[in-house]
Amino acid sequence: MSNGNLEIKAISGHAGGTPGGGEYRQADGTTRIGASRDYDVCKLIDTTTCIGCKACEVACVEWNGYEFRETTFDNTYQTMPETAWNFWNLIKFNEVETDGGLQWLMRKDQCMHCEEPGCLIACPADGAIVQYTNGIVDFNQANCIGCQYCVTGCPFNIPKFNDATKKVYKCTLCSDRVGAGLEPACIKSCPTGCLHFGSKEDMKFEAMKRIDQLHANGHANAGIYNPGDPDQKATSPGSIGGTHVIYVLGDARDPEKYGGLPASPSVPIFVKLWKGPLKWLGGIGMVAGVFGVFMHYIRFGPKEVDKAEEVKR
Amino acid sequence: MSGGIVARPTTAIPEDQVQRYTFAERAYHWINSIAYTYLLLTGLALFTPLAYWLAYVLGGPATIRYWHPWIGLVYFATIFWMHRMWKRDMQKIPEDEKWSKNLRAYAENRDELMPPQGRFNAGQKQFWWVMFFSTFILLITGIIMWIPEKMPRELHWVLPIIIFIHSATALITIAAFIIHVYMSVWVTPGSVKAMVEGHVSTTWARTHHRLWYEKITGRRN
């Protein structure tokens, strides 16, 4: 991996073109996006081999330079109810009753780095959110204005507001490490090997290999969570074009039981209406309105009462 | 009713002129206009990337995000006071229906077809009520957008709807605003002077607001 992985693909609230963006034709005749796209990166989380040790939580806080924030005890093993502005990686523990048994499900929760990120679509601030050609969706707090529209666009409840700085924060998929050719901090810390990092294609292949293994061992409902990916829409629905963090779930029929993973995530329809038709209709309407009254003026002109009166006299 | 117009003895109104707006009415109107213009420009900056440059012109993106809600409160407060001053003048009168029916003639400057109007004509009244009710929608949605972090997570699904309503309502006020500014500055000369200096010529008053003119002067022509 190289710095080429941090070529920008999409920018929030941006009126002009995207540096490094746009399609171009390669020597072999295929087209690709971005100036120097090596490949999409992806994190694979195998929930069936996660032991809930929370090493990834610690590694995340350490690498990103935050103090370990206060935890909340709610009679479970979970560190806190949800991720926080300075705590981007949280293992969610869920106890699920089955026929005569109990399942203890653990899932590493963090930004999913959507292919079509709702946060970026909703963001009005130029350059506050960028999507790199390698799939990483990154927040740039220097350009953030604290409006929290990103919160409204996210189907996974990930961006978190810091009241002191008035900025929003979330997992960067260690874009700083990835740009330097390293794997994300959480991956590096995982003792069971349930976390993998590589190209999206490789991770999808690895996930399917593991799922075949699980099927062979009698876990018939095991499956992949990669919502809306064109290749996997049938088993993992959604309208966000797939994610750059994918899961192997022991029971893919009901992702909700893995700490509230949405079964079919999508960017809220009102975000799309507001950033789509309303924006264009509003803009055209305003220009048409100003032009319209101008045309009215040159056609009919003013109601000159005082002058007309003078002429009569 | 003349809408509470009382020309103080000290107010010097030139000959052939009648007072149209008191100082308080003018003051509230212009505070409201300045607030609205700021809200319009900063709101547009956050509405479309094509207008984001306005954010830099007006002090910076984070700065406008901070001030937009506060100026919104100023805007609401002045609308509230304008309502107190003008609510009687803004009530419908029987002539309004014919006026609205003949709107096309009014737009084409065939004013001889228009019925006599009170202190405000039916179009001005419509403009007022659009702005008045829009202000309440913008206030309620705006307060929620101001501090979404105080909202419980379970209710976050309403935020996109709130933002959509806020934007759509603002666009409606912009349509009304364009017509209002155009009518007053370009179509009816004398209106800006009325809102700045407070008085209009008797001819202006008789032509545009005959019922009001007759009421305040007691004259029939």
- Work out how many CB contacts closer than 8 A connect A with B: 126
> pLDDT at position A63, please?
97
The answer to whether residues A89 and A215 belong to one domain is yes
Are B163 and A290 inside 8 Å of each other by CB? no
CA distance A251 to chain B (A): 26
Q: Decide if B126 contacts B179 (C-beta within 8 A).
A: no
> What are the start-end ranges of the H helices in A35-156?
55-63, 118-122, 149-153
- Residue A37, pLDDT > 70, answer no
Band (pLDDT 50/70/90 cuts) for residue B9 is low
- Residue A38, pLDDT > 70, answer no
> pLDDT at position A313, please?
43
**Would residue A274 count as lying in a domain?**
yes
Query: A114-124: string of b/e by CB count within 10 Å (b at 16+)?
Result: bbbbbbbbbbb
> pLDDT digit string (tens) for A211-257?
999 999 999 999 999 999 999 988 999 999 999 999 999 999 999 99
> pLDDT at position A309, please?
52
Chain A residue closest in CA terms to B165: A274
- Residue A29, pLDDT > 80, answer no
Please give the C-alpha separations between residue B221 and each of B102, B206, B207, in angstroms, as whole numbers: 23, 7, 10
The amino acid at B201: S
> pLDDT at position A7, please?
77
- Residue A175, pLDDT > 70, answer yes
> pLDDT at position A26, please?
58
The answer to whether residues A232 and A295 belong to one domain is no
CA distance A70 to chain B (A): 19
Are B49 and A289 inside 8 Å of each other by CB? no
Query: Which helix or strand (DSSP H or E) is residue A251 part of?
Result: none
The domain in which residue A275 lies consists of: 269-312
ipTM here: 0.88
Are B149 and A163 inside 8 Å of each other by CB? yes
Total residue count of chain B as it appears in this document: 221
- Residue A35, pLDDT > 90, answer no
How many structural domains compose chain A? 2
CATH number (domain holding residue A288) = 1.20.5.480
> pLDDT at position B94, please?
94
Cα A153–Cα A158–Cα A164 angle in degrees, nearest 5: 100
> pLDDT at position A31, please?
62
**Would residue A263 count as lying in a domain?**
no
Rounded CA gap, A115 and B145, in Å? 27
Rounded CA gap, B54 and B49, in Å? 10
Are B208 and A305 inside 8 Å of each other by CB? yes
Rounded CA gap, A131 and B62, in Å? 22
Average confidence score pLDDT of chain B: 93
What is the average per-residue pLDDT within A69-82? Answer: 91
The residues pairing with A8 across neighbouring beta strands, listed in sequence order, are: A132
What is the average per-residue pLDDT within A65-91? Answer: 93
Band (pLDDT 50/70/90 cuts) for residue A53 is very high
The answer to whether residues A196 and A286 belong to one domain is no
Instruction: State the residue for tokens 């002009």.
Output: A16
What percentage of chain B carries pLDDT values higher than 90?
Answer: 89
Report the 3 state secondary structure along B88-153: CCCCCCCHHHHHHHCHHHHHCCCHHHCCCCCCCCHHHHHHHHHHHHHHHHHHHHHHHHHCHHHCCH
Chain A residue closest in CA terms to B154: A157
The answer to whether residues A167 and A288 belong to one domain is no
The amino acid at B194: A
Q: Residue A160 contacts by C-beta under 8 Å, 6 or more apart in sequence?
A: A83, A84, A85, A168, A169, A170
What is the average per-residue pLDDT within A178-196? Answer: 94
| Nearest alpha carbon to residue B172 among B132, B144, B121, B124 | B132
- Residue B167, pLDDT > 90, answer yes
Rounded CA gap, A208 and A153, in Å? 30
Q: How many CA atoms lie within 13 A of B201 on its CB side?
A: 13
Q: Residue A100 contacts by C-beta under 8 Å, 6 or more apart in sequence?
A: none
The answer to whether residues A94 and A229 belong to one domain is yes
Q: Pick from A257, A278, A302: which residue ends a domain? A: A257
Instruction: State the residue for tokens 């700083």.
Output: A176
Chain A residue closest in CA terms to B187: A302
Band (pLDDT 50/70/90 cuts) for residue A2 is very low
> pLDDT at position A100, please?
87
Contacts of A161 in chain B (CB under 8 A): 148-149
**Would residue A264 count as lying in a domain?**
no
Are A145 and B159 inside 8 Å of each other by CB? no
CATH number (domain holding residue A163) = 3.30.70.20
Chain B residue closest in CA terms to A162: B149
The answer to whether residues A156 and A301 belong to one domain is no
Contacts of A119 in chain B (CB under 8 A): none
CA distance B89 to chain A (A): 23
Band (pLDDT 50/70/90 cuts) for residue A290 is very high
Instruction: State the residue for tokens 């991720």.
Output: A83
Query: Higher pLDDT residue, B5 or B77?
Result: B77
Nearest to B179 among A151, A293, A309 (CB): A293
Q: How many CA atoms lie within 13 A of A157 on its CB side?
A: 17
CA distance B84 to chain A (A): 30
What is the average per-residue pLDDT within B9-21? Answer: 78
Query: Higher pLDDT residue, A26 or B133?
Result: B133
Are A157 and B188 inside 8 Å of each other by CB? no
> pLDDT at position B219, please?
75
**Would residue A131 count as lying in a domain?**
yes
Nearest to B178 among A145, A269, A289 (CB): A289
Q: Decide if A114 contacts A84 (C-beta within 8 A).
A: no
**Would residue A282 count as lying in a domain?**
yes
The answer to whether residues A28 and A150 belong to one domain is yes
Rounded CA gap, B39 and B69, in Å? 9
The answer to whether residues A201 and A293 belong to one domain is no
Report all structural domains of chain B as residue ranges with CATH numbers, in order of start: 19-217 (1.20.950.20)
**B159-182 vs B122-146: helix crossing angle, rounded to 10:** 150
The answer to whether residues A164 and A117 belong to one domain is yes
Q: Decide if A304 contacts B189 (C-beta within 8 A).
A: yes
> pLDDT at position A150, please?
97
Mutating which of B64, B164, B200 best tests the A interface, going by the most A Cβ atoms within 10 A?
Answer: B164
- Residue B1, pLDDT > 70, answer no
The answer to whether residues A212 and A281 belong to one domain is no
**Would residue A299 count as lying in a domain?**
yes
> pLDDT digit string (tens) for B189-207?
999 999 999 999 999 999 9
Chain A residue closest in CA terms to B17: A306
What is the average per-residue pLDDT within B84-102? Answer: 95
- Residue A32, pLDDT > 60, answer no
**Would residue A288 count as lying in a domain?**
yes
The answer to whether residues A306 and A192 belong to one domain is no
The answer to whether residues A177 and A281 belong to one domain is no
Query: Higher pLDDT residue, B14 or A146?
Result: A146
Nearest to A285 among B65, B175, B179 (CB): B175
Mutating which of A14, A121, A271, A274 best tests the B interface, going by the most B Cβ atoms within 10 A?
Answer: A274
> pLDDT at position B4, please?
55
Q: Decide if A48 contacts A105 (C-beta within 8 A).
A: no
- The dihedral through the CA atoms of B16, B21, B23, B26 has a sign that is negative
Nearest to A290 among B145, B178, B208 (CB): B178
Q: Pick from A235, A257, A279: which residue ends a domain? A: A257
> pLDDT digit string (tens) for B20-54?
999 999 999 999 999 999 999 999 999 999 999 99
Q: Residue B213 contacts by C-beta under 8 Å, 6 or more apart in sequence?
A: B18, B202, B205, B206, B219
Are B163 and A283 inside 8 Å of each other by CB? no
